[in-house]
Amino acid sequence: MSQHTFTRRVAATVGAAAAVVVALAGCSTPAAPSAGEENVPGVSDDTVTIGTHTPLTGPAAAGYSSISAAATAYFAYLNDKGGVHGRTIDYLVKDDGYNPATTQTVVRELVQEDEVFAIVNGLGTPTHTAVLEYLTQNEVPDLFVASGSTSWNQPEKFPYTFGFNADYVVEGAALAQYAADEYPDKVVCLLGQDDDFGDEMIEGAQLALGADGLAHVERYSVSNRDVAAQIGALKAAGCEINILGTINGFTALALGTAAKMGWFPMWFSSSSGADYPTLVGYLGEDVGPKLLQGLVGTNYLPSLGGDSDWVSLFRQINDDYNDGAPFDGNTIYGMSVAYLFAEALEAAGENPTRESLVEAVASGGLAGNGILPLSFGEDSHAAYLGVGITAVDQGVQDYVGATYAVDGGTVTSVDPAPVELSGEGVPGS
């Protein structure tokens, strides 16, 4: 069981009120800036400079390196439309190789040398955890972390940090609840990364199924690309549905290893490891589509296989500003994050400060482009507390109609409420 339990979720609401009295210790939402504040890091008369850390090389690169490129393409599109309050956005992307030590180095470069206005969509649970305290101490807005760890939702401890992904507890609970609803007699197991990612997927699954609801659990490390022992143990345990708390490369590795054993159970994956085009890239065009048929996943953004106006816009931006790079779920993710930052920057005012940017997010006034409302507020730094269930059918990955939310430790079925595209995807237009 993860140390990040639902007790902390409830405590966050109470703790936020108590945090006001210790603001000088850096444990409250930042105060409003004084009038006429000048020399804001990363903000000039015509540019806002922001940065990120992401794996352009290393074990996670093939699954995630396209995210920052997609965000950069959206910002180029936005800049051609006039930017935000007359300022263009300059997005500095630094490779950390999915290595926490490297993350510390590049984030310090972004803050101290490049003097960025904010860190936006830093990717990875172990990597971003390594810079969380540093960004808090330096009062740098730490927006829309690319990880579902519940660590980002601690407003009383990390007032500048906000998540973007639906958290792993939510995803684990939704996948397990879907398994219970649709396949009540099947044996459910789980394969998870050996960190908060795996811990919280287990926590969510047990929330839906009960403490003894998972028949078997296996863990893996990203430093070891051999999961034959874990897959063999799941097979021996008679698992029929395997919930995956895996990044894309290890989702493909799990499916490929099982296929070599002649074992073909059902696979239910977190959104972090369920992108169909990315998985086909790992598995190959010859066997990938066959192994991925029926793959169940989660999502909270416009679906690659759907007919959303957001997807149509992002396809066009990808063609025009991203050198025609392959269009997949990571493209949609990267552009969705970039749009949300632009929305926050627009709401931060004509002369934005770091404080006004954080206040804009915490106000609860941002819409984003998800299938459910954003959950940001003074007492919540989580973006999405619910997800839709997706499935792959003949190469198309789309929503199947089931949508779940987690509220107060309870998993409930909810109706999606997709945000409609407006203003050509340019906030404030």
Banded model confidence at residue 274, pLDDT cuts 50, 70, 90? very high
Instruction: Mention every residue, 6+ apart, whose C-beta is less than 8 A from residue 276.
Output: 292, 295, 304, 328, 329, 392, 395, 397
**Using one digit for the tens of pLDDT, what is the confidence trace for 187-215?**
999 999 999 899 999 999 999 999 999 99
Cα torsion 1, 200, 296, 186 to 10°: value is 10
Q: Looking at residue 59, what is its pLDDT? A: 80
Go through 324-350 and write b for each residue having 16 or more CB atoms within 10 A of its CB, e for each that does not.
eeebbbbbbbbbbbbbbbbbbbbbbee
Single-letter amino acid code for the residue at 161:
T
Task: Assess whether pLDDT exceeds 60 at residue 9.
Answer: no
Write down all domains in the chain, each with its CATH number in brackets: 6-166+307-384 (3.40.50.2300), 168-299 (3.40.50.2300)
pLDDT in tens, 358-387: 999 999 999 999 999 999 999 999 999 999
Give strand ranges (E) for 181-270: 188-193, 216-220, 241-245, 266-269
Q: Each residue of 293-321: b (16+ CB within 10 Å) or e?
A: eebbbbbbbbbbbbebebbebbeebbeeb
Q: What are the beta bridge partners of residue 251?
A: none
Do 52 and 127 form a contact (C-beta atoms < 8 A)? no
Per-residue confidence (pLDDT) for residue 63, from 0 to 100: 75
Question: Once rounded to an integer, what is the mean pLDDT over residues 141-162?
Answer: 97
What mean pLDDT do residues 395-401 have?
Answer: 96
Structure confidence at residue 11 (pLDDT): 39
Element housing 411 (H / E): strand 410-413
pLDDT at 8: 38
| Phi, psi at 416, each rounded to 5° | -65, 155
Residues 6+ apart with CB under 8 A from 370: 300, 301, 336, 383, 384, 418, 419
Q: Name the pairing type of β-strands 386-393 and 296-299.
A: antiparallel
Residue 62 is predicted with a pLDDT of 81
Higher pLDDT, 269 or 62: 269
Strand partners, 146: 123
In this predicted model, what pLDDT tens digit does every residue of 116-128 receive, in sequence order? 999 999 999 999 9
Q: What is the pLDDT of residues 219-237, one digit of tens each?
A: 999 889 999 999 999 999 9
Residue 279: closest CA among 64, 63, 123: 63
Diameter of the chain measured on Cα atoms: 68
For the segment 26-37, the average pLDDT, to the nearest whole number, is 43
Return the pLDDT at 38.
66
Considering only CA atoms, which of 425, 174, 143 is closest in space to residue 299? Answer: 174
3-state secondary structure of 59: coil
Q: Are 31 and 23 in contact (CB under 8 A)?
A: yes
pTM: 0.87
* Res 17: pLDDT: 32
Q: Given a cut of 90, is residue 88 above it in pLDDT?
A: yes
Contact 52, 120 (CB under 8 A): yes
Backbone φ/ψ region at 157: left (φ over 0), alpha (ψ -120 to 50), beta: alpha
Give backbone dihedrals phi and psi of 118, rounded to 5 degrees, phi first: -160, 160
Phi, psi dihedrals of residue 302, rounded to the nearest 5°:
-55, 135
Query: What pLDDT does residue 239 have?
Result: 98
Over the chain, what is the mean pLDDT?
91
Output the six-digit token pair for 230. Answer: 């874990």
**What is the distance of C-alpha 33 from the center of its chain?**
29
Over residues 163-183, mean pLDDT: 98
Dist. CA 397–CA 305, nearest whole Å: 5
- pLDDT above 70: residue 16: no
Res 60: pLDDT: 85
- Partners of 398 in the β-ladder: 391
143 vs 160: CA distance, rounded Å = 8
So what's the pLDDT on residue 307?
A: 86
Per-residue pLDDT at 165 exceeds 90: yes
Q: What three-state secondary structure class fits 34? A: coil
What SS3 state is found at 348?
Answer: coil
Q: Does residue 342 have a pLDDT over 60?
A: yes
CA-nearest of 224, 269, 262 to 248 is: 269
Coil/strand/helix, residue 87: strand
Residue 4 has pLDDT above 90, yes or no: no
